[in-house]
Amino acid sequence: MAQRTMTLKPFLTLITAAALLSSCGGNQEQPQEQAVTVDFIELSPTHAETEKKYPGTLEGTVNVDVKAQVTGYLDQIYVKEGDYVSQGQPLFKIKADIYNEQVNNSKAAYQAALSAEQNAKLEIEKIKPLVEGKVYTELQLKTAEANYAAAKAQVAQAQAALGSSQINAKFTLINAPVSGYIGRIPNRIGNLITAADATPLTTLSEINTVNVYFSLSEADFIAFIKDQNNKPSNQQATLLLADGTAYNHSGKVELASGNIDRTTGSMALKASFTNPDKILRSGGSAKVILKKAHENVLLVPMAAVKDIQDRYFVYVIGEKNKISMKQIEIAGNTANAYLLKSGLTAGEKIVMNRIDMLNDGMQVQPTKKSTM
């Protein structure tokens, strides 16, 4: 019996130790998840300037198609595509031989008509005294006077023909009607040119001032007009060039049409920009930026907004630093913030960073208050 008691003692000791360890482990608390440290911003009313971008096409204020006014073979091309030319500078020459010959013929016909006129006048002067002496009759005098009138008409007709032939000969030299840059030149020396050609010899574009044509939706146009009526001068616009850089000069916005396009439902406008460095060229593209001032609005930084399938959410810090995800509506945007339409109120605290690490209901540790 004594031997059996000694055998059970080690076994009871192990059970007791295990029970004590289990009791101690049950009283220990589980480690809590560490709160994410975040920056935040407290919303307050402020003023802001929103902007919208509209794609546009560039055109010079003067765009002229240069066409021939007479028919003939192209004899000379004095300019190259891309050249800048001044008004009156020669551009093209049409072979003028036939027109110079017409001028010479017209000059000869004019001289002949002048001689005929002079002879008819002399005839009258010869007959007049002889009528008084009954050598010539009154009818002969009247006939002579009629011949003189016809001769004068022939002179006028010949003079007009001479002037017309000289104009046509002058038209063989085609000069620049305005100053500007030469566009494409589709013809080559030796091509037959006519006044009825649909394709011009070239196009001249004056780009000291450039118009950028763009369109607004009907809703945007109504908002634009309302904003325009509250301003003393024309709406100012800025320009974003094709390479993504901002243009150095601002422009003035004007209507380019009086009616809304029924097909597209849009209104055409134009913004005029000075172009001293000739950076803007006809046919180019750019984006017109229209800005609008707002007072007493709430701004939400873009960095704080989560975009989920075209819906916008932010994390709002609540009691005990727990966050909740709220959906917001935006009315526009500045360069780095959204203009709030609904969803938040002044005084609420918005998480500014690490939003991809957060989930609804998490606890955070706000450490730094940011400013707009």
pLDDT tens across 92-123, in order? Answer: 999 999 999 999 999 999 999 999 999 999 99
Is-contact 212 251, C-beta < 8 A? yes
The CATH classification number of 68-94+172-193 equals 2.40.50.100
Q: Quick one: tokens of 88?
A: 């009156």
Q: Look up the CATH superfamily of 53-60+206-293.
A: Efflux pump adaptor protein, beta barrel domain (2.40.30.170)
Q: Work out the average pLDDT over 224-246.
A: 84
More confident residue, 110 or 48: 110
Q: For the chain, what percentages of helix, strand and coil (3-state, to nearest 5) are there? A: 30, 35, 30
**Strand-strand pairing, 84-85 and 180-182:** antiparallel
The reply to whether domains 68-94+172-193 and 97-171 share a CATH topology is no
In this model, does residue 23 exceed pLDDT 70? no
DSSP run (H or E) holding 226: helix 218-229
Mean per-residue pLDDT, 183-207: 94
Over residues 322-363, the pLDDT tens digits come to 999 999 999 888 878 999 999 999 999 999 999 988 999 999
* Six token digits for residue 121: 């006048």
| The CATH number of domain 37-48+296-369, selected from 3.40.50.300, 2.40.420.20, 3.10.250.10, 3.30.70.270 | 2.40.420.20
Q: 299: exposed, middle or buried (C-beta count within 10 Å: 0-12, 13-18, 19+)?
A: buried
DSSP classification of residue 109 = H
CA distances from 109 to 151, 191, 350 (A): 12, 32, 95
In this structure, what token pair is assigned to residue 217?
């939706």
- Give residue 16's pLDDT: 44
Homologous superfamily assigned to 97-171:
Helix hairpin bin (1.10.287.470)
Label residue 174 by pLDDT band (50, 70, 90): very high
**Non-local CB neighbours of 183 within 8 Å, separated by 6+ positions:** 81, 202, 203, 204, 205, 282
**For residue 290, how many other CB atoms are within 10 A of its CB?**
22
- Partner residues linked to 322 by β-bridges: 363
Mean pLDDT of the chain: 87
Of 8-12, 89-93, 273-277, the poorest mean pLDDT is in: 8-12
pTM of the model: 0.62
pLDDT of 119-152, one tens digit each? 999 998 888 888 877 788 888 889 989 999 999 9
What are the domain boundaries of the chain? 37-48+296-369, 53-60+206-293, 68-94+172-193, 97-171
The DSSP element (H or E) to which 62 belongs, if any, is strand 46-66
Q: Which residue has the tokens 């902007």?
A: 51
| 364-369 and 36-42 beta bridge pairing | parallel
Contacts of 265 (CB under 8 A, 6+ apart): 217, 218
Token pair listed for 146:
């009629």
pLDDT of 162 over the 70 cut: yes
